Amino acid sequence: MRRLTLVICLLLATVTPVTAQYPSVRQGFWYGFGFGVGKGQVHCSICADQSGTDLTASLRAGGTLSKSWLLGGEFDFWTNSQDLVTRRSWSLSAVGLWYPWPAGGAYAKGGIGITGYHASDSVDVITASRLGLMLGVGYEWRIGKKYSLNPYFNYLYTLPGDLKFNEVVIADDARISSLQLGVGLVIH
C-alpha cells in the first residue's frame, strides 16, 4: 500500500489540482495510464502459487461511442520478485467502459483478451497464456479540462489451458488470475 500511496501523491503533484468545476464530457479519442499494486497467480491441479503483491501498470486508449460508452484497448502488467523467483503477468484486452450516469465519473468495465503468465528462476521457466476476461470498476475525477484522475480496480481471469515448465506441458487446467488496484490519469 505504500507504493499505491506514493503513486497517488505523484499523480496529484504532477497535475495541477483543480476542483470539479469541469463537467464529465466524453468525446473523441482518449488515452490513459495508471500504476498501482496487484497480484497475479496461476491456478491448476498442481499449482500452489506463492506470489506476492507488487507493482502493476496499465495503459489504455480508445474512442468514444456515446456519452455512456467507450471502447478501447488496454494493456496491463504486473511483476513480482521474491526469493529466487520472478513472476510477471500481462494482459492485452479489448475493453468497453460503461458510465451508468453519463454526467458522472463512475464506470464499469468489461473486456476480453489474452493474458500471459511467466515465472522464472535462473534456470527454469513456467509459462501460460490464455484467453481471459476482465472486469473492472473505476471513477474518473475531472481535475482539468482534459484530465481525469482515475482510481480503478481490475480483475482478470482466464479460461483453463496448458501450463508449461521449460516448454513441457505439465498441466492442462491452468487458469491465470490477476487483481489490480491503482490510480491513473486519463486524457480526453
Partner 1 sequence: MRNPSPQLSVGALIFLLAAGALLAGCGEDTPSTPTPPVATGVSVAYDLWRPGPNDDCTAEIHNSYSVVGPDGKLYPTWHPPIDPATGCHFGHEHGRDPRGSNLYKRYGPIPFGYANEQLAIWDPTGIRNEDHFGHKVEWENNVTFNLGNGVGGSVLQVRCDVLTKLHQGTHSKDAFTNNLHELVYYLDCTDGTRIGMTVMTAIGTPGEMVESCDHEVHVHVGTPTPLNSPDGGGQRTIPDRACIEQFLLVPPGQNSAFSSALHESWQVSASLRKANGQFLAGVNPYYQVFYPSRFYDASLPNITGRVVDMCFATEPNGDRAHGWLCDQATANGTLTSLPFDDPRSPFNGVKRQVDINGNRIANADGPEVWYTDPFGGNAKTSPFPGSIRQVLAKMDNTESYQFDGPTLGGDRDYGGQGVHAPN
d(C-alpha 10, C-alpha 153), whole Å: 19
Query: Which H or E element spans position 5?
Result: helix 2-14
Is 35:57 a contact under the CB 8 Å cutoff?
yes
- In 73-182, which ranges are continuous DSSP H helix? none
Told to check if 165 binds partner 1 by CB under 8 A, we report yes
Report the residue from 4, 70, 171, 183 that binds partner 1 according to the rule CB under 8 A: 171
CB of 36 to partner 1, least distance (A): 23
Told to check if 119 binds partner 1 by CB under 8 A, we report yes
Told to check if 181 binds partner 1 by CB under 8 A, we report no
Told to check if 173 binds partner 1 by CB under 8 A, we report no
- Which residues are paired to 127 by β-bridges? 118, 164
Told to check if 166 binds partner 1 by CB under 8 A, we report yes
- Which residue lies nearer to partner 1 by CB, 15 or 49? 49
CA atoms within 13 Å, Cβ hemisphere of 4: 15
What character string, x for contact with partner 1 (CB under 8 A) and - otherwise, covers 73-102?
---------xxxx-x---------------
Told to check if 170 binds partner 1 by CB under 8 A, we report yes
- Among 168, 171, 169, 173, which residue's Cα sits nearest to residue 158? 173
Is 58:76 a contact under the CB 8 Å cutoff?
yes
Told to check if 120 binds partner 1 by CB under 8 A, we report yes
Per CB under 8 A, residues contacting partner 1 are 42, 45-51, 82-85, 87, 119-126, 165-166, 168, 170-171
